[in-house]
Amino acid sequence: MTPDAPRRERVVLSQRRGARPVRTRAEVAEQTEVGEHLVRGLVRAQLGLALRIGLGVAALFPAIPLIGFTVDDFASATVFGIGVNWIVLALAPYPILYLAGRLYIRLAEQAERDFIALMDDEERGP
């Protein structure tokens, strides 16, 4: 760089004259096109999360009867006169569904917190 050349300067949107400040929270509250796009992104993220967890649970449930069909000792074993395969079929789904639900709620709330933090960060500016 020669001494006579002007120095390069990084221009940020908020530094330009006449630039409209980002009003993320207002965009969402007023249901503008930008706000609608932001909310749609949050809903899409939560839907994707629900589908991933649902597919994981749906893939796990067929495994329970398949184990009963393929493992002979599992199908013939008994506890208090009740077949182990029936105990597993009757009791295993409930904790799995409960844990999947808790995981979904935790991750969906985290996505909402991230969304709100994004809105607050945009409102504060650089």
4 burial level (CB within 10 Å; 0-12, 13-18, 19+): exposed
- Compute the CA torsion angle 3, 7, 8, 9 (nearest 10 deg): 170
User: Does the structure show a pLDDT above 80 at 125?
Assistant: no
Percentage, residues of the chain above pLDDT 70: 71
Domain carrying residue 44: 24-121
In a domain, 16, yes or no: no
Q: Across residues 18-29, what is the average pLDDT?
A: 55
> Is residue 1 in some structural domain?
no
23: phi > 0 → left, psi -120 to 50 → alpha, else beta; which?
A: beta
Q: Is residue 104 part of a domain?
A: yes
Query: What's the pLDDT tens digit per position in 76-114?
Result: 888 888 888 888 888 888 999 999 999 999 999 998 888
Within a domain: residue 10? no
- Residue 45 in any domain: the answer is yes
Q: Which of 1-15, 16-30, 68-82 has the lowest mean pLDDT?
A: 16-30
Element housing 120 (H / E): helix 93-124
pTM listed for this prediction = 0.64
- Domain tally, the chain: 1
In a domain, 9, yes or no: no
Contact in structure between 64 and 84 (CB atoms under 8 Å): no
